[in-house]
Amino acid sequence: MPKNLTPILEAIEPVIIGHDCELVDLEYVKEKSQYYLRIYVDKQPNGIDIETIAELSELVGEKLDSMQPDPLPDPYILELSSPGLERPIKKEQDWEKAKGQYIHVGLYQKLEGEKVFEGHLLDLDDQEIKLEIKIKTRRKQLTIPRKQIASARFAIEF
């Protein structure tokens, strides 16, 4: 499995941006005996529609097929889709959009006895985020160092 997806990213991002869309995430995984290249795209302000996904899938497929040398020599299935409501928070731009929103944060190591938190993102800077979490009926502010965050995504509050 290629560890570096940068050449693929650099080849397909202009195609996606050219359709006023955003490349949210890219992953290359093996499930059972099959490889998958999953590309998550979105469009602001109302999300991406199925017609745009179908069109981009064809264009991205053509772009990948034309790359020399082939960055993915093993046969794979190309999947292009929306990241959904619980899209990942990866880039700085994603973090800015997440301000005031309800998010899910997974940590590398426990903080106050927990590795997973959900709450409203109150603020952030280069070093840390401030999250308002709910513990039973009371609300608490929690400061989490950004270097401790393993993953983050938008979440649905229940």
Q: Give the pLDDT confidence of 7-22 residue by residue, as tens digits.
A: 999 999 999 999 999 9
Task: Please work out, in degrees rounded to the nearest 5, the angle formed at the alpha carbon of residue 147 by the alpha carbons of 142 and 149.
Answer: 60
Give the sign of the dihedral formed by CA 79, CA 83, CA 88, CA 92: positive
**3-79: CATH class:** alpha beta
- The answer, yes or no, to whether residue 44 has pLDDT greater than 90, is no
Side chain identity at residue 20, one-letter code: D
**90-152: CATH class:** mainly beta
Q: Give the pLDDT confidence of 85-112 residue by residue, as tens digits.
A: 888 998 898 999 999 999 999 999 999 9
Domain ranges of the chain: 3-79, 90-152
